[in-house]
Amino acid sequence: QFQLVESGGALVQPGGSLRLSCAASGFNLRFYVVAWLRQAPGKEREWVSCISIRGVGTDYADSVKGRFTVSRDDAKNTVDLQMNNLKPDDTGTYYCAARGGRNLPACSDEVTKEHYNYWGQGTQVTVSS
């Protein structure tokens, strides 16, 4: 069926790096904007990044600019999030979410699940010494 599956989360020390992957099955991710969001225990869900259809543009939260890079490989039906110089505040469950439509949606900082057509199950990232 239609699914998004995140992978790559791990325990990492501050200053370390991780690469998360979001893989789609059952539908073609090529026609979807893909966002990364995260949520730490007891905190509100936070928008992290997004990549536009065909990767023509990317956006990042101020808190991760210069450290995170989002990319997509439509041939593999995946979107990756490279995370460098990780900080304890980066700890949380990371989700990818895809939004498509005939209107060819652009990147946004929307955090509600209702905004997206598909939402992954999440992968845990813990940044701690």
Q: DSSP string of 35-100?
A: EEEEE-TTS--EEEEEE-GGGS-EEE-TTTTTTEEEEEETTTTEEEEEE-S--GGG-EEEEEEEEE
Average pLDDT over residues 55-70: 97
Q: Angle at CA 128, nearest 5°, toward 126 and 129?
A: 150
* pLDDT confidence bin for 70, thresholds 50/70/90: very high
Average confidence score pLDDT of the chain: 96
50, pLDDT greater than 90 = yes
Q: What is the pLDDT of residue 68?
A: 98
**Cβ atoms within 10 Å of 76's Cβ, excluding its own:** 12
Q: What is the pLDDT of residue 101?
A: 84
